[in-house]
Amino acid sequence: MSALDELAEVYRERDGAALEWKARGGLVVGCLGSDVPEELLIAAGILPIRVCGDPEADLGRADRYIERAFDPRVRSIFMRIIEGSYSHLDHLIVSSSSDALVRVFYYLRELRRTEAELSIPDLYFFDFLHTRYRTSALYNRDRARDLKGVIEGWSGRSLTRTDLEQAIATCEENRGLLRELQQLRAPGAPRVSGVQSLIAIGSSMLMSREVHSQRLRAFLEEAEGGETLSGVRLFVPGSVQDHPRFYEIVESCGAVVVGEDHDWGARRFAGEIDTGADPMDGIVDLYHLREPGTHQTTVSERVSALLRQVQATGAQGVISYIYEADDAPSWDFPEQREALEARGIPMLLLDHQPYGPERTDDLRRRVEQFVESTGRGEL
């Protein structure tokens, strides 16, 4: 198989690498939310994996426990957890990345207490603030030290400075390679598609970071000699795309997705750790000070971030794809569109969208019309 094929297999069979790790006697910890500092887990010899949903799953059973006010991706994740899809996890860390995840933690904790027959992993809540204040930085350092102590209990050993520095080096190498991948997407002459990028980025959260770096490096070497991809260059903000379905539709309509700002895309490798700082300080500052997510900052900050990202990727247009009940990204749209159109960049809003495959024909029609008009330079 090619390097991309190997990464695609991990991306498709998402539990495979974790199950192999456990078969060799290792601990596997699930991370729900983008703020869990995986460096601490890696320093302890634990495999961190990102918990995800399943667009093909029937969410009927989830209705017994969780309201429809949650967006369908979160409901799918919740259902997979209570149905035992993550029973192989030794522990599950839920971060405060959004209000929805905070509530998911409380629901899961109560279900562990009242319905012990459900195979819900041992839970830990990681509270992490994103306000840019010194008090938040101090609070986050305390919470990270607490988490470090818990992880030491799980692994049965203390984490030394050397352990932390080695884990930081491992993760920084991986993030650096992912940034090299981004350079092959944009600006101007992409050699890597959006779907390929989702595979390369998403697989990094599902397997050993060292092994992922080896395979990603091989893929980058293959892609650097590849042909330039043709098509209208698009940037995708909005809801988290933890599966490639929407990108596949977009790129089948004569476009190339050159960037995004969600947690299963380019936000994965945003920021760098200050290796000259104390390791714990460097880790905390990375997650605290990097580009904030949709649920973590103000509209004006997100508009400014979008403009920077669109400019950096050379995107000709923007499509915001938002799931039903995921309201926060929709609040940004009027200001985002106004700011982009002032720069001659059109923006399409696709809101109230399903997480699964429904309404594909209508979606394709709207995307095709947008790609065609953007390619003609119509605002």
Amino acid at 150: V
Is 57 within the bounds of a domain? yes
Q: What range does the domain containing 38 cover?
A: 3-161
pLDDT, tens only, 161-195: 999 999 999 999 999 999 999 999 978 789 999 99
Amino acid at 351: D
With a cut of 70, say whether residue 218 has pLDDT above it.
Answer: yes
With a cut of 70, say whether residue 379 has pLDDT above it.
Answer: no
Q: Which residue is listed with tokens 């490096």?
A: 217
Distinct helix (H) and strand (E) counts, the chain: 14, 8
Total number of domains in the chain = 1
Q: Supply the CATH number for residue 94's domain.
A: 3.40.50.11890
Provide the pLDDT for residue 298. Answer: 82
Is 24 within the bounds of a domain? yes
Amino acid at 336: Q
User: Of the ranges 32-46, 251-265, 291-305, 310-324, which one carries the lowest mean pLDDT score?
Assistant: 291-305
The residue with greater pLDDT, 28 or 327, is: 28
Mean of the per-residue pLDDT values for the chain?
94
- Rounded to whole angstroms, what are the CA distances from 177 to 1, 142, 207? 20, 31, 15
Q: Which residue is listed with tokens 């599950």?
A: 92
Contact in structure between 265 and 347 (CB atoms under 8 Å): no
Is 184 within the bounds of a domain? no
Going 231 to 232 to 233 to 237, the CA torsion angle's sign is: negative
Provide the pLDDT for residue 292. Answer: 64
Provide the pLDDT for residue 167. Answer: 98
Is 50 within the bounds of a domain? yes
List Cβ<8 Å contacts ≥24 apart for 297-302. Answer: 297/130, 299/331, 299/332, 299/335, 300/335, 302/332, 302/336
Strand order across the beta sheet in which 255-260 lies: 255-260, 232-236, 317-323, 347-353
The residue with greater pLDDT, 347 or 357, is: 347
Report the relative pairing of strands 28-32 and 47-50 from DSSP bridges: parallel
Provide the pLDDT for residue 189. Answer: 83
Q: What is the mean pLDDT of residues 130-150?
A: 95
**Phi and psi at residue 56, to the nearest 5°:** -85, -10
Is 229 within the bounds of a domain? no
Q: Residue 264, CB half-sphere, CA atoms under 13 Å: how many?
A: 25
pLDDT-derived band at 106, boundaries 50, 70, 90:
very high
Is 262 within the bounds of a domain? no
Provide the pLDDT for residue 291. Answer: 73
With a cut of 90, say whether residue 328 has pLDDT above it.
Answer: no
Q: What is the mean pLDDT of residues 150-166?
A: 98
Is 356 within the bounds of a domain? no
CA angle 109-263-290, nearest 5°?
Answer: 105
Is 234 within the bounds of a domain? no
Provide the pLDDT for residue 294. Answer: 60
Q: What is the mean pLDDT of residues 134-142?
A: 96
